Amino acid sequence: MTHTPPQPTLSPETERRVAALPVWHGTPEMEPLSGGLSNESVLVRDARGAHVVRLGRDFPFHHVERARETMVTRAAVARGFAPELVHAEPGVMVTRFIEGHTYTAEDVRRDRIRIAHLMRRFHEEMPKEISGAGFFFWVFHVIRDYARTLEAGRSRMTDRLPGFLKVAEAMERAQVAMPVVFGHHDLLPANFIDDGDRLWLIDFEYAGFGTAMFDLAGVASNAGLSEADSAELMSAYLGHAPDAAMQRAYAAMQVASLLRETMWSLVSELHLTAPGVDYAAYTAETLAAYEAALDDYQSRFEKV
């Protein structure tokens, strides 16, 4: 599943807010960065170089807390996964800009083995740096909570919620036990950056403890990996070919990943406004991908 990023512009309020940050040497030059679906990002160049300013706020309806995101970002920097964090304050993070290539779905499909190895290292190494109260991400809880939020907000797709929940229950039953890891949980192609020597990860809003299956499924579903490519990704991550139960769980989690993304967009329709973002169009895109994944699952495993 891919998404064409909007082309944003900077508001005078954003320019004033960014310019007032106490980190610049000389007069900062600013330009908007595209790609964000819920946050605003600005590329800033000053006498020291280039940085990215990420502006956001807590989103309780999406289970996003900026203090936790900042802590995870610091941990990811310490372990060498993320660009240097230069400055952080409530609602603002300033990181070093990476001169590199932001991945597309095609890049992810091509570099799936490289990404599998990066995920494995992230899952294993991040718990050594994480501090404070642990956050647990379980996509099926998120889906159920989104259903409550959509019901309360009288979403335009309220009539679809019973069907969504029925599918989620079936996909949850298909899961297999795996070790708890620290996952990223938002592995869209644009959250990988290649500087020519190595891969970097960005955007840790949803990072927390959970099952590795969600990150594996997210990479596959967000980049539209084929069944064969998905199996290669899983095998590279595990170090061996998955058995039949694992293959079924993997396909089920891809359905759940896309259902969660669809419901994320529906909740965003109710509660968010981002420059240049058409949430209804994104909902249509993610819903089509979810329905295709569900059809594939049902053709390979079981009717839901």
Specify the CATH number for the domain of residue 120: 3.90.1200.10
Choosing from 50, 82, 97, the residue where a domain stops is: 97
User: Per-residue pLDDT tens for 217-239?
Assistant: 999 999 999 999 999 999 999 99
First to last CA, the chain: 22
20 and 167 share a domain?
Answer: no
Confidence of residue 10 (pLDDT cuts 50, 70, 90): confident
Choosing from 38, 63, 97, the residue where a domain stops is: 97
Please classify residue 298 by burial: count the beta carbons closer than 10 Å to its beta carbon, then call 0-12 exposed, 13-18 middle and 19+ buried.
middle
Cβ contacts of 166 within 8 Å, gap of 6 or more: 304
Choosing from 97, 117, 134, the residue where a domain stops is: 97
142 and 192 share a domain?
Answer: yes
In the prediction, which pLDDT does 161 show?
Answer: 98
Question: Considering the domain boundaries, does residue 210 fall inside one?
Answer: yes
79 and 47 share a domain?
Answer: yes
User: Per-residue pLDDT tens for 119-132?
Assistant: 999 999 999 999 99
53 and 141 share a domain?
Answer: no
Confidence of residue 183 (pLDDT cuts 50, 70, 90): very high
pLDDT higher than 60, residue 2? no
DSSP three-state, residue 165: helix
Domain containing residue 86: CATH number: 3.30.200.20
206 and 261 share a domain?
Answer: yes
User: Per-residue pLDDT tens for 30-53?
Assistant: 999 876 677 889 999 999 999 999
272 and 140 share a domain?
Answer: yes
Lowest pLDDT segment from 14-18, 33-37, 187-191, 275-279 = 33-37
Enumerate the β-bridge partners of residue 41: 33, 54
C-beta separation of 263 from 146 below 8 A: yes
In the prediction, which pLDDT does 8 show?
Answer: 63
179 and 142 share a domain?
Answer: yes
In the prediction, which pLDDT does 126 show?
Answer: 98
Domain housing 109 = 102-300
pLDDT higher than 60, residue 5? no
Question: Considering the domain boundaries, does residue 82 fall inside one?
Answer: yes
pLDDT higher than 90, residue 277? no
Question: Considering the domain boundaries, does residue 6 fall inside one?
Answer: no
37 and 172 share a domain?
Answer: no
Question: Considering the domain boundaries, does residue 70 fall inside one?
Answer: yes
Question: Considering the domain boundaries, does residue 249 fall inside one?
Answer: yes
How many structural domains compose the chain?
2
pLDDT higher than 80, residue 190? yes
106 and 32 share a domain?
Answer: no
31 and 93 share a domain?
Answer: yes
141 and 284 share a domain?
Answer: yes
Query: Considering the chain, what is the average pLDDT of its residues?
Result: 94
